[in-house]
Structure 1
Amino acid sequence: MERNGERLKTERAKIASEYLKQLGIRNEHIIIDKKTFTDAMVRNSDGTLTLYQIDIELTPLCRGGCQRLCDDPRVTPRSKAIL
């Protein structure tokens, strides 16, 4: 078990935010919702746990949804991190 869960969530949120900025996503389009999942929330039907340290959801910024993402300059990567 983590000793300081709140600090860990804050650190991971900061790292995730910085990474998304490196990919070219503007700060105003990044929303961080720090959560702690209980064992009951991640328990599979066989009793095992599916644990994720971080969950990131991406949503389209443009009208028309995903089919137009490729043509939207707001989501065109401007980083050499993506080849």
Structure 2
Amino acid sequence: MINVNRIVGREIRKRRKHLGLSGIELANLVGVSQQQISRYERGECNINIENLHTLANALDTEMICFLLMMFLSIKKVINLKN
């Protein structure tokens, strides 16, 4: 089964590290706790569209980038099954 939260979480972590931000720094930019950022990155909880938009802005990217990575990961799994 495809875990969309993990896919998005990996992209959040990758982008955060690319920018050289700590989890605490990203949490402060987004207005959530560092623990919440960690849960997002590990795919342990759902991210609603509003929070994903806020995260994307804090990570200096577009929300569509996260959605595209999710789509590509799902497509890859579907192609492997066929």
TM-score w.r.t. the length of structure 1 is 0.33
Bigger helix share: 2
TM-score w.r.t. the length of structure 2 is 0.33
Question: Rg larger in 1 or in 2?
Answer: 1
